[in-house]
Amino acid sequence: MTRLGCRAVLLDMDGTLVDSTAAVDRIWSDWAREHGFEPAAVIAVVHGRQGQESMAELLPDRPHADNLADNAHLLAREVAETDGIVEIVGAAALLAGLQDVPHAMVTSASAELARSRMAAAGLALPPVQVTAEDVAASKPHPEGFLAGAARLGVAPEDCVAFEDSGAGIAAARAAGMRVVGVGPVAATHAPDVHVADLASVRVDVGPDGVVLRF
């Protein structure tokens, strides 16, 4: 059994708490075909990042304002289209176990999209949320995780982050946090601990802090 001690927990949303793969793949595949890309090539880039940042990488000569406008259209679809969105196995139990633990969600999604997807998956929003509107730089930049730790009043090195994507794991590491990688993609980015889903995670709260068991 692996144990990680901490004072706070930070959680990504898509791929970590919520399985939104069906919706993301459907919407971004449509965008890829509209812009002359193979869908698989686009989907490999977009997970864990704000949409306009992915567009900037894929279309480097396009003005940033065009990317922002294009992403606004995609966000509207993503908020509305929740078919196939479910919780990652064990997410509800983990959130319940963190009820007495400082914790926050740190997501590249907008606040509206986060509310939509968490509701579709039947999950309660954590009390603290850092969303796309709260940061100037998307993952893999550490700004979101640093903001989450600051809002909780906990030093980054005393936090454990749960992430599924390469960009997210890089962001948490850059913030100075230990990382639990969730799902198959995370395993390829050398997290401190890897789990297939959240079913095996246990939370123990004691006088000396929090211990996560896997």
Q: pLDDT in tens for each of the 214 residues of the chain?
A: 899 999 999 999 999 999 998 888 999 999 999 999 999 999 988 877 888 989 999 999 999 999 999 999 998 999 999 999 999 999 999 999 999 999 999 999 999 999 999 999 999 999 999 999 999 999 999 999 999 999 999 999 999 999 999 999 999 999 999 999 999 999 999 999 999 999 999 999 988 889 999 9
- Residue 22 has what pLDDT? 87
Q: 164 with 145: CB under 8 angstroms?
A: no
Of the residues 12, 25, 158, 164, which is catalytic? Answer: 12
Of the residues 14, 19, 25, 70, which is catalytic? Answer: 14
Residue 12 designated active-site: yes
Note the Cα 191 to chain centre separation in Å: 15
Residues 113, 178: Cα–Cα separation, whole Å: 27
Residues 135, 175: Cα–Cα separation, whole Å: 14
Residue 61 designated active-site: no
| Residue of 116, 92, 146 whose CA lies nearest to 23 | 116
Sheet bearing 193-195, strands edge to edge: 128-130, 103-106, 8-11, 159-163, 178-182, 193-195
Residues 27, 49: Cα–Cα separation, whole Å: 15
